[in-house]
Structure formats: C-alpha cells, structure tokens
C-alpha cells in the first residue's frame, strides 16, 4: 500500500509541475516533448532519492540539499519553454515557495485535527501520507496562481475560478477528515452523511465544469465556422471588386481609343486605324464580362466561375432570364447564395475523375413573381445525401455553405433544397414581395 501511495504521489507531482509550467511560461517546445518526459521522470527520481535520505537522516544539510535539487530540477524543466531567463527564474522560485507553503499548510491542518496520528503510525507511512497531502494543497495553490496570473488565455469568470478550485479543496477536506472517524463513533451515520455530501458535491461541480467546457468548445467551433465563412465572403467580394475595376479600366481606355480613332480618321490613316481597332477589340474581349444581366453580383460570379470551369475542363452553361431591378435579394445575400452554390459545384466537379463534368445553372425572375435559381452538376460516383451529411459533421467547413444558402433563403421567406441522383441538384425559390418589383398585383 505504501509503495502504491508513493508512486501515486510522484505521478501527481509530475502532473502538478507540468501543468504549472504550461500555465505560467510561454510556448512549450513540442518537438522536445519525449525528451521532456524523460527528464521529468529523471527529476522525480532524484527528488525521491533526496526525500528518502532526508527521511532517514533529517538534518539541516539534507534539507538544504533537497531544496537546491528541487530548484535545479525545476529550472531544467523550464529550459523546455521559450520564456526569458528572468521569467524562468521567477517561476522556479514561485513553485518552490508554493511547495513549501503547501507542506506547511497541510502539516498545520493535520497536526491540529489528528494529533494522535503521529504516535499511532510508523515513520515511513506517516511520511507518505504527509507527502501526498502536501501535494494536494500544492495543487490548489498552483491552480490559484494559474487562474490569477495566466495571460495566455482569456480571463475566467469568478464563478469558474470558484468551481475549479472547489474540487481539490473538497478533496483535501475529505483527506484530512478521514482519520477523524473515531470522533463520530457516537453518531457514525453523521460521519458518512458528511462524506457522501462532499462526494455528491464534487460530482455536481465536475458536471457543471464539463458543461461549461462543452459550451466553450461549441462557441469556439461556431466562431471557427464563422471565420471560414467570412473568409469565403471576403474572397467573393474581392472577385466583385476585380470585376468592377476591370469595368472602370475599360471605360477609361475607351476614351483614349476614341481619341486615337478620331486622329486616324482625320489623318486618313485607315490601315493604322484597322490595326488599332482589331487590337482594341481583342483587348475588350479578354476583359469584358461574358454575362450582362445588369446585376454586378450575378455577372461577375458567372463570368469568374465560367473561367474557372474552363481552366478545369468543365462545361459551364448558364441560362438567364433575369430582370435585374426585380431581384428581391440584396447584393450581400446574393453573394452568399451564388458564391456557395457555384463553389460547391466547382469543387464537386474537380473531385470527380470523369472527363465529362459540367455545371448548369438557370437564374430567373418569373412572371408569377418568384426569383429562382436551379443548379445541377456532375459529382463523384457513389455520392449520396448520407455521404454529404456525414462530411458536414466530420469537417469544419465542408457543406456548411449549404446551410448558409438555406438560412439566407428563409430570411427572404423562400426555401432551398438539394438532392443527389445521378447528378447533384440545388433549387432555390424566393418570392418577390415588394410591390414595385411585382408583376402580379
């Protein structure tokens, strides 16, 4: 029993020391993690040897030697972090102070509550009990230091600090009070009621902490998704900006071209004029928007993805019946819809090894006051809705755009559906509600 208690004590000490260093120093050198573990075990063996000698030969010299070895081993472990030398020395001294304070606090509590315990047990067992008890108090003190001074993570609430400290505090209460059972002989039930109460309280606190950690993890996951979507939207707006800049450049160049044409006509230099106009036409064809509905979002996205599809040997066909001033969706939300739709289509086709990939999209504002988008594309063989749903659960971003499309459609009282047969189909319908944009009244 004594050996098991000793092993448990030193494993706990390794955990406490590593946790304390991780929380107070900056940037652990992960590439040296195996070496760190070996050094940590070696340091604990040195400390165990010193404590065994100290228990058999309790002198001032042995106490000083054990303290210096403890300081030295802690400093060696600090070398696995990138913090400054000053910070490392500060952490070494702080940990030694906390260790001494933990031992003093536990010794004081134990001697006050159990004055007969020393006389009733052998020295080795007593030393083991005092050692693990002091480690529990040290753990509480290290938690306090970490929660109060840690700068690597956002500040925790007072409630969280209280909850996380409650577990070791209640543990030390149980540990200190267990030998006091003889004081409750008159009413032994009371002792066990107090013990059960402490254990139940520990379970409740741990449950609350787990729930808070779950909520925090969920929030981080959601934020990561939002950051990905913001990045995606930024890319789409950059595409719009580039399309706008190209349009402005064409307009600016046209002024110069008209001036040159007039010069050639006035000078009757028709051969030069013919060469010039041929070059101007080629330049316009290389930069103009292939699609011209009057809506910048639709025109730029279709032009951009048409180009991307051509580079990847994907057939791209767009059928348009859009009256630009009847579209019931603002430009931002239209970016969400079209950007995610076309992006999913392109990725699905690129992932499909077939040489006959295609993307077909139809956008229209209908006579019965509806804004519709129908999209279909080839996809890898064996793709199913179950496969898509599983991918959405197992990946941070894949498939998340489909949810954004649906949410945007529902925002405008419309709907969005998708299905997989031999092809992947997407359909969106949004009613045109604004009276000025309606045909049917």
| Domain match, 134 and 12 both | yes
| Domain match, 23 and 159 both | yes
CATH assignment of the domain containing 362:
3.30.565.10
| Domain match, 167 and 297 both | no
Residue 215 falls inside a structural domain: no
- Evaluate if residue 174 carries a pLDDT over 80: no
Point out the least confidently predicted range of 100-104, 253-257, 369-373, 390-394. Answer: 390-394
Q: Give the span between the Cα atoms of 270 and 261, in whole angstroms.
A: 9
In the chain, the number of structural domains is: 2
Residue 385 falls inside a structural domain: yes
| Domain match, 55 and 174 both | yes
| Domain match, 173 and 317 both | no
Q: Give the span between the Cα atoms of 113 and 93, in whole angstroms.
A: 30
Average pLDDT over residues 59-74: 80
> Tens digit of pLDDT for each residue in 417-434?
998 888 899 999 999 999
pLDDT, averaged across the chain: 76
> Tens digit of pLDDT for each residue in 310-335?
999 999 999 999 998 999 998 888 98
pLDDT tier for residue 151 given thresholds of 50, 70 and 90 = very low
Taking each helix axis from N to C end, the angle separating 2-24 and 60-78, rounded to the nearest 10 degrees, works out to 50
Distance of CA 48 to the CA centre of its chain: 40
Residue 145 falls inside a structural domain: yes
- Evaluate if residue 168 carries a pLDDT over 60: yes
Query: Under a CB-based contact definition with an 8 Å cutoff, are residues 140 and 172 in contact?
Result: yes
Residue 90 falls inside a structural domain: yes
- Evaluate if residue 224 carries a pLDDT over 70: yes
- Evaluate if residue 153 carries a pLDDT over 50: no
Range of the domain at 441: 291-441
Q: Which of residues 185, 217, 243 is at a domain's end?
A: 185
Average pLDDT over residues 219-246: 68
User: Residue 396: CB partners within 8 Å, gap ≥ 6?
Assistant: 221, 224, 225, 228
| Domain match, 179 and 317 both | no
> Tens digit of pLDDT for each residue in 74-99?
899 888 888 888 888 888 888 888 88
Please return the burial class of 90, using the count of CB atoms within 10 Å of its CB with bins 0-12, 13-18 and 19+.
middle
Q: Give the span between the Cα atoms of 317 and 291, in whole angstroms.
A: 11
- Evaluate if residue 11 carries a pLDDT over 80: yes
* pLDDT number for residue 322: 92
The residue with greater pLDDT, 217 or 179, is 217
Point out the least confidently predicted range of 117-121, 361-365, 390-394. Answer: 390-394
| Domain match, 170 and 314 both | no
Q: How far is CA 254 from CA 247, 281, 294, in A?
A: 11, 11, 20
| Domain match, 173 and 26 both | yes
| Measured CA angle at 419 (ends 414, 421), to 5 deg | 155
Q: Which of residues 144, 169, 185 is at a domain's end?
A: 185
Residue 399 falls inside a structural domain: yes
| Domain match, 180 and 304 both | no
Percent residues over pLDDT 70 in the chain? 65
Q: Which of residues 135, 150, 185 is at a domain's end?
A: 185
CB atoms within 10 A of CB 265: 11
Residue 131 falls inside a structural domain: yes
* pLDDT number for residue 244: 62
Residue 224 falls inside a structural domain: no
* pLDDT number for residue 425: 93
């Amino acid at each position: 029993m004594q050996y098991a208690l000793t092993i448990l004590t030193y494993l706990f000490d390794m955990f406490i020391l590593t946790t304390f260093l991780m929380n107070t120093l900056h940037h652990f050198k992960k590439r040296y993690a195996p070496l760190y573990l070996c050094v940590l075990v070696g340091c604990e063996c040195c400390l165990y040897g010193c404590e065994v000698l100290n228990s058999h030969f309790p002198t001032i010299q042995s106490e000083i030697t054990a303290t210096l070895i403890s300081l030295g081993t802690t400093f060696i472990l600090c070398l696995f972090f990138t913090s400054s030398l000053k910070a490392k020395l500060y952490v070494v001294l702080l940990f030694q102070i906390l260790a001494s304070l933990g031992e003093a606090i536990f010794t004081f509590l134990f001697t006050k509550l159990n004055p007969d315990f020393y006389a009733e047990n052998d020295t080795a067992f007593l030393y083991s009990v005092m050692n693990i008890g002091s480690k529990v108090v040290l753990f509480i003190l290290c938690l306090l230091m970490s929660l109060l001074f840690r700068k690597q993570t956002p500040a925790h609430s007072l409630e969280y600090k209280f909850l996380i400290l409650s577990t070791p505090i209640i543990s030390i209460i149980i540990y200190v009070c267990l030998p006091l059972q003889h004081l409750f002989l008159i009413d032994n039930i009371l002792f066990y009621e107090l013990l059960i109460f402490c254990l139940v309280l520990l379970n409740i606190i741990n449950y609350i902490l787990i729930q808070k950690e779950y909520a925090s993890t969920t929030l981080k996951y959601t934020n990561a998704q939002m950051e990905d979507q913001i990045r995606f939207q930024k890319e789409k707006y950059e595409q719009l900006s580039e399309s706008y800049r190209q349009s402005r450049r064409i307009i600016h160049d046209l002024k110069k071209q008209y001036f040159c044409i007039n010069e050639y006509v006035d000078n009757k230099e028709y051969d030069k004029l013919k060469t010039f106009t041929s070059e101007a036409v080629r330049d316009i064809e290389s930069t103009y928007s292939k699609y011209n509905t009057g809506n910048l979002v639709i025109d730029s996205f279709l032009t951009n993805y048409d180009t991307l599809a051509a580079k990847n040997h994907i057939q791209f066909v767009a059928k348009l019946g859009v009256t630009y001033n009847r579209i019931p969706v603002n430009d931002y939300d239209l970016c969400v819809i079209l950007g995610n739709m076309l992006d999913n289509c392109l990725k699905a086709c690129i992932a499909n090894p077939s040489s006959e990939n295609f993307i077909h999209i139809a956008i229209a504002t209908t006579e019965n006051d509806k804004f519709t988008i129908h999209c279909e594309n080839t996809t890898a063989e064996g793709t199913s809705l179950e496969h898509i749903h599983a991918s959405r659960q197992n990946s941070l971003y894949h498939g998340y755009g489909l949810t954004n499309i649906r949410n945007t459609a529902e925002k405008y009282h419309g709907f969005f559906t998708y299905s997989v047969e031999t092809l992947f189909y997407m359909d969106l319908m949004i009613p045109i509600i604004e009276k000025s944009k309606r045909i049917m009244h």
